[in-house]
Structure 1
């Protein structure tokens, strides 16, 4: 009978899964997709998401709250100045000025927090912050006590929305377990405000009193108000809103952020379906709200001492400035303790015990403060009072937000009500510390100590109430009772996952019968054994059974509908995937046996395997140009919204409009027909060239990660284009191989031309194009562009995301996509053109790639350059490539930030670049070389379009001198660092480019600019460039190697440079970009020597007319 029941349950769960699938509801599909992921996947993606959210949200909220509390409490510091004397205050006037702020503060909290669910928090909170900053600064202009009171009332009205609004906003991003520690960081703004407020007040009251005829306390209000206004402007643009409307997250991250909250509370943040009044009524009908508002009211009442804290501390017998400084260590210790206890409370999930212990600490502190006048004991008591009361309040705020998780409007109302009633204590609490009660302040100390003890009992009572309510919900779930009968607001249908969590400003129509035919998924709580004994069910993250069942050998069964759905769905997917792979393998075997096209030609354009690149376009291919596929009609595209060309193919079945990409590019058993097999290049010569490339050139390509073949025969079977590229590059670097180079070069260009119209491409074809681009300067731009077009057809740009999702076979493709990114940016800089591959999330996610088990040291070297080019592209997008537009003075602060980023890049990547058995210390030294060149590139912008010998600002001059110093360092590394000097022949074209760029830059600056403007020594430049010419003239390479041409071109420029220094006039160095203003200020005989070298991407290889050629020297002899 038990077996029958189990079978019935499984059948029901399976049927439910099918019903969910058949509904085609995208929200349910997304819910199941995330819910069915492994715990490791959820944890990794949660950490990634939280890092982004924390960096975006917490620093700004903490800063805003620091200023919020500072503008509210700075009256206590101003009192130590001449505030009371200047405004004629006496008696309890100060207490009234303190308490009156909270009248407006209380009135506005609830309506403002409800309104926050309907507008963008960034705009709303930013605007109210700007207004309270203005009012705070306006307090400096008050001339009477009445004016001060009026300002304080208005200040309370506009400060009211911030604290509850920030708490509600954070609870819309973080789960209950995460929220506590974040609120601790947020509320640390209280302690930091008291700490920095004391320091700031000490500095202002001690140093600015009387400056410009303004008293110190007025300066205090002005300075803090202006700072608040400045931060509010930043907040309006930077502060994030809700997960569903945050465009700085990807679509997947937005969905996952919403799912986490739904999974945590098992209810969506239904902002549109519940009205503001309904949310308020729901909060007021929940009896727990009254317990929490009393607790929060008493908690804030126990903290009223902080508004008089400087006045209390001054009773220790110190001067006013020393008193303000003594408050700093107290609040710093409070800050540290607050973080510690909120972290442990969140870890253990037990908040009431922490609250009770902290309140006992505060109680002891108050008793000590009133019991003696001993300075040491009372100063120790000053530490205990805020450490207990302030830390306990942080946990209470988290407790309130977690106890009313959903819907958002109810949570918002609950937070506002508790905060509103809680802050009412400040109206009368300020009178607990009468000025006549000093120095012991007996009445206030006794009252706060009693309040702390009352709160201990209340916290314990709330603990018992919540335990009882949780047991009721757990028992209802165990007995399969609808949760809504126990707690009407406890759960909501999963169908509201995305539709109800859209932008808070959008309302959504809802039908009465919506979701009635869908399962109500409740939260997994405990296994059957633990529920039966009514004990806590604890399980480790990776364990299949709970700790108790594992210890006693019980069968751990979670009798939960959602769990069964998820498990059955995972099992169904696993079986379906296995069967699909079996079918694909069988079909592929049949197709090969019958010599038919691969399986990918019959279905979708996202292939599982790729084919071999044909070396020529034959007649058979030409015949199929406008023919239909011979396969049966494939199924329609499963995704409704697909690429338009997919739909066109579905309609016409024309092969020529379809990307038929197949083959993995690693060779086949097909017979090889190439220029080696036809006898044009002897096989032994080809073998020698391949070995040379494999042992030397290939190692400069990041440790040989590009070439995956171990012998020439494997390369030839895989791709004729890759073969020709390897042999052409190798022959270019060997002396006396000019004829062989011409032959290989011609073969390569022919194969590249043919590949333009080929239907089939492979990974090795992309590799061949990249190898050619890295060393053949006249083809580099065209080859890299062609490689990128093929790569995007083969969907290499999606490989990294697939790799992260667990498809390990995508590693090679992801690696190749990073290689293409580097290749693209090499020549984007070299030719002064915008790059093709942009900094997508896949590119920026390079650390995930390096964490893959298949990653090798060569991958680290590759990603090192990726990281650098990401920074350089930020420079490009910031300043553009308009060579006729000089940098503004305001741009140099951003320029310095980029310099810091480059410094950090070197510090991170130089230690990670390990030595190689083939190229020695070149990897780490290469990082230093690229560091100098990057600094040169960025800072040379300071001289862009600047007239020669015109006055330079200090910032522009500093940047220009950095560029000069970095260019000199680049050349010195080449001349004096053995690892770099020995690699000058085998290094890629980009290295030659940046070396030549630095040399030309130094010559032109030394030629055009006087040393009084810039720190440049003409004699040093001349000797440095001459040494470079000597090195490049004596390398061992083929006749057409680029180093010889660079040496010849620099020799000509040096001759002109020396002739000018000796007084002779020489022309020949011309420019297309020199500004008219620059030409007007230079003698006519020198105008031909003006060259614009200062654009970060202005090294246009096509315009290097100084080198005696336009890089056509790769053309075969006699052509």
Structure 2
């Protein structure tokens, strides 16, 4: 009875006592421990993850997203004019980032599934930081486009790597809120970008002969290098190959045990070769359902690279425009944490995504249908709330329903991210300056993304239900209890 209670404390699922005993038997250092000792070890593992790993990847993602969106505020400070770029050339530079971004995602994420993320991830970050520092030297549209392409190549594997690593350490109930916390890198970067822009872009023009936007990019690149260097000491590998530099031997076994229970008895220890996992993912309908949903969510989020330009249409001064970008994103982050917690507690994803993206749908309609400043600013809060939350829960969902083997999960994450990134090849052309202030085409694009998100969330819920019905029928046929169920 003590062992059964400890399992329920570690993972909120009902599992037969004989299955728990079988799981514990695989871990000699845990097999003889009492309920209290197991609970204490579980808390110790979570504490180290939450206070070392989670802050580290949050900071790394913050710098990653700052690096991705910094050109949006640099544009307001005259970068486009200084490099003599037309709207089409500027949008081409935005799109080329995602060309490079797509190229490296699948090989990068599958490679890291077999190797050491604590070394590879900081090196990837150092590489894109160096490219960012080189960008202020750009003197022409072609130089800008090349730099954005190279930043995309180096950043491509990073978000899939973080998703893979998080899903390897946190259970399916813990994952949504933790992914929500590190998703701050995506959301809060927009806050910091606006605040940094207010401080740098309005005060550093012509210092040492550089434009303010050059200082903006240069300083962000330097901070990114510092964060990358610190992360070498704060990141673990995977539960099966993290040494005692991070956990004690007992904590290592507890980390493996937690994930074994969460995945219904499927071990985190990977199997097969790298490309075998890719082929497994390609054959799984879940991969393409999540890829389609991810694609739709990124379309619904297509305003992000142009958010400063949208805020500018409200008619405030330059400094005020930088500052008022922050509140909608702060709201989006708090909203993401609250709803992600609910999703993990209930182990439900689809309806949470649908409810959130419906808010964005309403906000977009308001944004393109009125010029009232108060109504339009309120619409920006709704606009930001849905896509970031939806993306966070979708990432947690896909790693929950396809937990093992690791290379398959890595490939699924990367394929979905690759498919979604294709949207960046065309959505920048819907937010041209001559569409201001309503940006009707851009708004229409967001509405389409919201609608498709709802459709694919419903389809994925249906497919999860269908797979669960197959498991129930198999149990009835064989008489063998299988605790695993696909989360919906």
2:291 corresponding residue in structure 1:
293
1:602-625 CA distances to partner (integer Å, 9 max, x unpaired)?
A: xxxxxxxxxxxxxxxxxxxxxxxx
Residues of 2 paired with 1:357 and 1:342: CA distance? 12
Alignment match, 1:177: 173
In structure 1, what is the equivalent of residue 201 of structure 2? 205
Q: Which of 243, 246, 256 matches 1:246? A: 243
Contact 1:188–1:338 (8 Å) recurs in 2: no
Summarize deviations over 1:92-122 as a string: whole Å, max 9, x none. 2221111110001001000000110122101
Cα gap change, 1:152/1:226 in structure 2, threshold over 3 Å: closer, same or farther? same
3-state DSSP of counterpart to 2:338: helix
Aligned residue for 1:280?
A: 278
Distance 1:35 1:403, change over 3 A: farther
Question: Could you say which residue in structure 2 is the equivalent of 1:92?
Answer: 88
Deviation at 1:433, TM superposition (A): 1.1
TM-score normalised per structure 1? 0.41
Q: How does 1:299-448 map to 2 (within 5 A)?
A: 299-448=297-446
Q: Distance in 1 between matches of 2:457 and 2:254?
A: 35
**Which structure: greater helix fraction?**
2
Q: Compared with structure 1, are the counterparts of its residues 472 and 35 closer, same or farther at alpha carbon in structure 2 (3 Å cutoff)?
A: farther
| Structure 1 residues 280 and 436: alpha-carbon distance in aligned structure 2, compared to 1, 3 A threshold | same
Q: Which consecutive unaligned segments of at least 5 residues does structure 2 have?
A: 1-15
- How far 1:40 moved relative to its partner? 5.5
C-alpha deviation, 1:460, in angstroms: 1.4
Larger radius of gyration: 1
Shift of 1:439: 0.4
Deviations 1:519-563 (Å, cap 9, x if unpaired)?
xx94378xxxxxxxxxx9xxxxxxxxxxxxxxxxxxxxxxxxxxx
Matches of 1:337 and 1:39 in 2, distance apart? 35
Q: Distance in 2 between matches of 1:101 and 1:17?
A: 48
* 2:114 matched residue in structure 1: 118
Partner of 1:45: 41
- 1:133 paired to 2:129: yes
CA drift at 1:56: 1.3
What is the CA–CA distance in structure 2 between the aligned matches of 1:101 and 1:298, rounded to whole Å? 19
Q: Deviations over 1:26-62 (max 9, x none)?
A: x973448747866665444322210111111010100
Q: Is 1:70 matched with 2:70?
A: no
Q: Cα gap change, 1:141/1:466 in structure 2, threshold over 3 Å: closer, same or farther?
A: same
- State the SS of the aligned residue for 1:380: helix
Instruction: Tell me what 1:56 maps to.
Output: 52
Query: How far does residue 474 in structure 1 lie from its aligned partner after superposition?
Result: 2.8
The aligned counterpart of 2:3 is none
Spell out, residue by residue over 1:987-1017, the C-alpha distance to the aligned partner (whole angstroms, 9 max, x if none).
xxxxxxxxxxxxxxxxxxxxxxxxxxxxxxx
1:374 Cα deviation after fit: 0.3
String of CA shifts for 1:156-190, please: whole Å, max 9, x gaps: 00001110001101111111111111100111111
Partner of 2:13: none
Any conservation in 1 of the 2:301–2:388 contact (CA below 8 Å)? yes
Please state how far the C-alpha of 1:72 moved relative to its aligned partner: 0.8
In structure 1, distance between residues paired with 2:277 and 2:405: 8
Q: Name the residue aligned to 1:677.
A: none
Distance 1:14 1:117 in 2: 32
Q: Residue 219 of structure 1 corresponds to which residue in structure 2?
A: 215
Q: Matches of 1:75 and 1:52 in 2, distance apart?
A: 36
Find the residue that maps to 2:201 and give its secondary structure: helix
Measured against aligned partners, the alpha-carbon deviations of 1:1089-1116 in whole angstroms (never above 9, x if no partner) come to xxxxxxxxxxxxxxxxxxxxxxxxxxxx
3-state SS in 2 of match to 1:316 = coil
Secondary structure at the counterpart of residue 92 of structure 1: helix
- Cα deviation for residue 457 of structure 1 reads 2.2
| Equivalent residues of 1:293, 1:422 under 8 A apart | yes
Quote the residue 1:148 is aligned against.
144
Distance 1:181 1:87, change over 3 A: same
Quick one: distance in 2 between partners of 1:280 and 1:323?
A: 45
Deviation of the 1:470 alpha carbon: 1.3
Match of 2:483 among 510, 519, 523: 523
Gaps of 5+ in 1: 1-12, 21-26, 483-520, 526-535, 537-1119
User: TM-score, structure 2 length as denominator?
Assistant: 0.91
Residues 835-868 of structure 1: per-residue CA shift (max 9 Å, x gap): xxxxxxxxxxxxxxxxxxxxxxxxxxxxxxxxxx
d(CA) in 1 for partners of 2:420 and 2:439? Answer: 23
| Structure 1 counterpart SS, 2:233 | helix
Q: Is the 8 A contact 1:366 1:445 kept in 2?
A: yes
- C-alpha distance in 2, partners of 1:76/1:145? 15
- Partner of residue 270, structure 1: 269
Question: What is the 5 A alignment of 1:157-176?
Answer: 157-176=153-172
Preserved CA contact (<8 Å) 1:70 1:194 = yes
Structure 2: distance between partners of 1:15 and 1:143:
68
Partner Cα separation in structure 2 for residue 68 and residue 16 of structure 1 = 42
Separation of aligned partners in 2, 1:368 and 1:14: 54
Shift of 1:236: 2.0
Cα distance per residue 1:1014-1052 (max 9 Å; x no partner): xxxxxxxxxxxxxxxxxxxxxxxxxxxxxxxxxxxxxxx
Say how many residue pairs are matched. 468
Q: How does 1:464-483 map to 2 (within 5 A)?
A: 464-480=462-478
Q: What displacement does 1:471 show?
A: 2.3
Q: Output the CA distance in 1 between the equivalents of 2:440 and 2:17.
A: 70
SS of equivalent residue, structure 2 residue 303: helix
Q: Superposed, which structure 2 residues align to 1:539-578 within 5 Å?
A: none
Question: Quick one: distance in 2 between partners of 1:17 and 1:172?
Answer: 20
- Preserved CA contact (<8 Å) 1:263 1:523: no
Contact 1:56 1:240 in 2 (8 A): no
Distance across 2 between alignment mates of 1:108 and 1:116: 12
Question: Structure 2: how far apart are the matches of 1:450 and 1:159?
Answer: 27
Distance change >3 Å, CA 140–CA 115, structure 1 → 2: same
Query: Shift of the alpha carbon at 1:434?
Result: 1.7
Q: Distance in 1 between matches of 2:211 and 2:272?
A: 52
**In 2, Cα distance between equivalents of 1:49 and 1:17:** 19
Give the drift of 1:292: 0.8
